[in-house]
Every structure is written in C-alpha cells, then in structure tokens.
Amino acid sequence: MDEFSGQRERLLATLRSQGITDDRVLAALASVPRERFVPVAIRAKAYENVALPIGQGQTISQPLIVGMMSQLLRLSGNEKVLEIGTGSGYQTAILARLCRKVVSVERIAELSQRAAIHLAELGCENVELHTGDGTLGWKAGAPYDAIIVTAGAPDVPSPLYNQLKIGGRLVIPVGGEDSQELQVIMKRESGPDITDVCDCRFVKLIGNAGWNPDDSN
C-alpha cells in the first residue's frame, strides 16, 4: 500500500470498463507507479485518466491509450519490442513487464536521460534506451516482433515497417497534426494488413520519415 493505491485501483477499474481486458496489461498497469514518471509539481494528477505535460513540449500519454496500445501489441512475454518516443519512460516500463526486451528511441536527450533514471529505480533491466531519430527505427536491434510509436506520424515510416518481423505488429497513430487514427499494421508475406482502431491525439513524430523538424513547436 502507498498513498496512491486507492487512486491507482480506481483508475484500473475505469480502464477495465473502457476495454482494457488483457490480464497481463492490467497487471503491468497496476504495478508501475505512474507518479514517478510525471513532474513532482503535478504528481497529484498522476492517476487521472489524462495525458500530462512532462517538459520540452511533450506529454506522458493518457493511461487508457497506454493500456490500449499495449493490448494491441498482443505480447506474450518472449518478444523484442521497439518503442519510438520514450518520453517519460512510463510506456517503456509497462512494455518491460510484458516482453523480453524493449529497445526505445527518443529524440530529446534530456527526456531519455530522465527516463533512464526512473526505469533504473524501478529495476527495469530489459530496457535499452537510445537518443536519435526513431523514424529511422533502430537497425542494430532489428528485426522486431512488435513496434510501438507514441507520437503522431503523417505516414507510416517505411524503416519501421522494414524492421518488423513477418507476422509482427506495428501500432502507430497516423494522420494530421491535430488528430490521428490509431492503426495496427500487421506485416504479412503478402504486405501490410492495416486496421483502424480509434481517433487519438498525440504530439508530433518529428524526423526524417515524420514531420519536418522546422515545424516543431
């Protein structure tokens, strides 16, 4: 028990009622203290079901979205997963409990460094963090069983699709700057099989195969 236990339980009940049904995902959400990944000044809001600012114009994703994206990856425990957009490291910590290895790329070094501290505090040892342009993927670890992108892309970056194993899933928000469609792209021998999941709103994926850095705000 800790001071956030009650709020965490209530949030989990909400997420269950909103469609998060994968027991492993629910267990991961129950065990990762979200308050550690938000700035101290807004820690009291850590268990509200909303995105929150984490500095550098970026946000920690809404818990429902984290649960939904994690569930859509259909992880069973033995996968190597590539995450683009480490941000606070919260989604990274959830993934670390759901798969064998997480490789996570963030373009803002300061965010990556802070995430590294929080992940180490939680004892997440199966995580590899890198700073760079994640629209290019992370070739050294390819191919991946699953890929998750936590920033909105104008199109699916082809390096990410290329670094996915056949049978693997890519979960990514695709669309305009103000709203996107959350998509699951399954890589088949015959080509991509795309499923639209829901509307969503993410910060921009900025990079070579994303939005132009000059447009960044």
Catalytic residue positions? 61
Smallest gap from residue 94 Cβ to ligand SAH (A): 9
Residue 6's Cβ-count burial label (10 Å; 0-12, 13-18, 19+) is: exposed
List 70, 91, 163, 180, residue binding ligand SAH (CB under 6 A):
91
Closest to ligand SAH by CB, 57 or 167: 57
Q: How far apart are CA 157 and CA 135, in angstroms?
A: 6
Place of tokens 């490291």: 89
Interface stretch with ligand SAH, choices 4-12, 22-30, 185-193, 205-213 (CB under 6 A): 205-213
111 is an interface residue for ligand SAH by CB under 6 A: yes
Smallest gap from residue 194 Cβ to ligand SAH (A): 21
58 is an interface residue for ligand SAH by CB under 6 A: yes
Q: How far apart are CA 211 and CA 175, in angstroms?
A: 11
Q: Are strands 191-200 and 180-188 parallel, antiparallel or unpaired?
A: antiparallel
Q: How far apart are CA 183 and CA 168, in angstroms?
A: 14
Smallest gap from residue 93 Cβ to ligand SAH (A): 9
CA dihedral of residues 156, 160, 163, 169 (deg, nearest 10): -60
107 is an interface residue for ligand SAH by CB under 6 A: yes
Q: Mask of contacts with ligand SAH, 160-189, x by CB under 6 A?
A: ------------------------------
Smallest CA-to-CA distance from 202 within 55, 103, 60 is with 60
Q: Mask of contacts with ligand SAH, 113-142, x by CB under 6 A?
A: --------------------xxx-------
Question: Which residues, in sequence order, are CB contacts of 73 under 8 Å at separation 6+?
Answer: 79, 81, 95, 98, 146, 148, 169, 171
Task: Tell me how many residues contact ligand SAH (CB under 6 A).
Answer: 26
Binding stretches for ligand SAH (CB under 6 A): 54, 58-61, 84-85, 87-88, 90-91, 105-108, 111, 133-135, 150-151, 203, 205-207, 210
